Structure 1
Amino acid sequence: MVVYADFVFLLNFIIDYLILWTTGKFLQLNSKKFRLFMGAGIGACYTFIFLIPSLTIVHILLTKILVSIAMVLISFGFIHLFHFIRMLATFYFVSFVFGGGVFGLQYLLQIDHEIINGIYIHHSSGSIVYLLFLVIAPVMIWLFSNKTYYSLRRKTLIQQDLVDVELTILNQSYQFKGLVDTGNQLYDPISRKPVLIIEAKDLTILPDVLQQAFDNRQFILDKFEQIADKIDPNWLSRIHLIPFRSVAKEMQFLLALRPDKVVIQNGEKRIETNKVLIGLDYGQLSIDRSYQAIIHPELLIAS
């Protein structure tokens, strides 16, 4: 068996660098590039141990742990023990993701390889193909893991801002999840009531004729004027037209309703108010349906 030491070193260096860089990004650590290069270099150099027969005796789990500790210390330094343990645990987690990803791609592409004493070895007579894999595979794994991490992180942050909402209108009650959005500063200019946006399709009590005033989720004032005489007076008396201006667009209007009351359960805090308007959106606010309404932050301090 012929081992291309330069390829082995380069592959491991690239993967180790991406692992360390991703670890730093996940933990929001500010580490200089040359420290990451040094840390990755330590990891890549370790792979040469199995090429030296006299040193294979130190190729044990303890040595691997010590090398990983050295890589983390060199790359990020030491602040205190808890912080270091957190960095090391994240480093191992990212390593498992990268290692499993590269290993899976090798099987998917049917590239000949094997594991010798814990070291990943590639067999190939086509150096160009291997070089392409050397560059592309770690980058693909990094892009996938990075996107997955931030997607999970975003979902976790969103879940922290979700509240239970109960809407009562014309003696009909509806329960749904709402996302508290600090960027939502929409008020009715006349009553100064905050506006809560809800997916209108979930309100089965709404007159079907209201949807005719919308085109691709956008409320069209001209269409509303055409159907106004078809709306039941009980509903028409509850309707508010709220003007607003979005970026790079002319003045628009939001169709809103006056509810009987809205109850928001935020943890152990229960907030009940009728000083709110319900803006209608005939689309889907959340791709994964984790929430069905956008909550105005002022409602959380309503009395």
Structure 2
Amino acid sequence: MYVEYYAIENLLVNYIIISCTAIISKNNSSMKKKWTGATIGMIYSILYLFDNFNLFFSIPMKVLLILIVTKIAFNNKSLKGYLRTLTIFYFVNIFIAGSSFFIIYCTGLTHLTISFIILITYISGVVLKYIYNDIKELKHIASMKKDMTVCIDEKEVELKALIDTGNLLKDPISKSEVVIISANKLYGILPEEFQKLDLKNINISSIDNVIDKVDKNISYRIRMIPVKQINDSNLVIGIKSDYIKVDGQKIPNVILGLSNFNEDGYNAILNPQLLMSI
């Protein structure tokens, strides 16, 4: 019975570690691959209970195990991606193991239940995720302006974007962050109907009028975005891009909110949360 509990504990702990690694590395691994990797780790840990398998616990074998699990549990399309995931996987293991021992030391517990060990591992993983996200957001905020490329209907325009946490505008459908764009910078790649809009007085009728007059390849992109404070209006007209490109990385299907703001030094406003997907 002890072996069964030990196996279940290791399986769940391994799965939490692999899932945490997948989140941090932005590796969209399937649940099947994650459970397969966790199962391999569980089988390896069970061998530790038997003296006949001591050879498997040498340093080279442990290195081989983490290489195999990284290969099986994650989607890696290149050697660079594999090495990046491997490095993150290694440090996630160290962090979760270290924080777990710290919690055990602070609580003074000597007898630990399976559920408690799993809970500690889960909490450590959540804490690590938040720490990682905070560090990444601070990194983006440190550089407040970015060169940005916007692509709509296969037409591109270059912009200078300000990173601003005050931009809280979100698309009501996808719930994703909206990029505020100085509309006159997009007029060269948008139909002239957009130039006729009074962006300070956007309403459902004016948006419908644009939808009726433009081609289908543009009309399906148009969005109505409710907002409390921008352009002194209750609505902002948005348009879905093919993608935006920041730091050489494409973010597809981003909604662009058209505004008439005019500031020196930048013509777009980015929420740093949007950059977290890079």
TM-score normalized by the length of structure 1? 0.49
**Does 1:136 pair with 2:136?**
no
Query: What's the C-alpha RMSD, in Å, of the aligned pairs?
Result: 3.2
Q: Does 1:148 align with 2:148?
A: no
In structure 2, what is the equivalent of residue 262 of structure 1?
none
C-alpha contact (below 8 Å) 1:9/1:44 kept by paired residues: yes
Residue equivalent to 1:44: 42
Q: CA deviation at 1:297?
A: 8.0
| Distance in 1 separating the partners of 2:120 and 2:266 | 50
User: How far apart in 1 are the matches of 2:88 and 2:60?
Assistant: 19
User: Do 2:20 and 2:92's aligned partners in 1 also have CA atoms closer than 8 Å?
Assistant: yes
- Paired residues in the alignment total 169
C-alpha separation between the residues in 2 aligned to 1:109 and 1:46?
29
Question: Who wins on radius of gyration, i.e. which is larger?
Answer: 1
Cα displacement (A) at 1:155: 0.9
Q: In the TM superposition, what is the alpha-carbon distance from 1:156 to its structure 2 partner?
A: 0.8
User: What does 1:266-277 correspond to in 2, within 5 Å?
Assistant: none
Q: CA 1:180–1:31 in 2, change beyond 3 Å: closer, same or farther?
A: closer
Letter in 2 for 1:130: T
* 1:45-60 alignment runs, 5 A limit: 45-60=43-58
Letter in 1 for 2:122: V
Aligned 8 A contact 2:17 2:93 in 1: yes
Q: 1:5 to 1:297 in 2, by over 3 A?
A: farther
Asked if the contact 1:180/1:297 (under 8 Å) is kept, the reply is no
Task: Write the letter of the residue equivalent to 1:300.
Answer: G
Output the CA distance in 2 between the equivalents of 1:49 and 1:92.
Answer: 21
Shift of 1:5: 2.0
Q: How does 1:254-273 map to 2 (within 5 A)?
A: none
Higher strand share: 1
Q: Secondary structure at the match of 1:51?
A: coil
Task: After TM superposition, list the pairs within 5 Å mapping 1:185-200 onto structure 2.
Answer: none
Aligned to 2:241: none
Gaps of 5+ in 1: 113-123, 164-178, 188-244, 253-295
Match of 1:161 in 2: 144
Greater CA drift, 153-162 or 35-44: 153-162
Fraction of identical pairs, as percent:
20
TM-score by length of 2: 0.53
Q: In structure 1, what residue type is equivalent to 2:115?
A: L
Unaligned residue ranges in structure 2 (runs of 5+): 147-161, 168-178, 183-225, 234-260, 268-278
Once the two structures are TM-superposed, the CA of residue 59 in structure 1 deviates from its matched residue by: 1.0
Structure 1 equivalent of residue 228 of structure 2 = 247
Given that residues 181 and 297 in structure 1 are in contact (C-alpha distance below 8 angstroms), is that contact kept between their aligned partners in structure 2? Answer: no
Give the aligned residue type for 2:100: V
How far is 1:152 from its partner?
0.9
Would you say the 8 A contact 2:13–2:118 is kept in 1? no
* 1:110 corresponds to: 108
User: Aligned-pair distance for 1:80?
Assistant: 2.0
SS in 1 for 2:48: helix
Tell me the amino acid that sits aligned with residue 247 of structure 1. K
**More relative contact order, 1 or 2 (CA 8 Å, 6+ apart):** 2
For 2:43, give the aligned amino acid.
Answer: C
Residue of structure 1 in register with 2:70 after alignment: 72
Shift of 1:40: 0.7
**Offset, 1:7:** 2.8
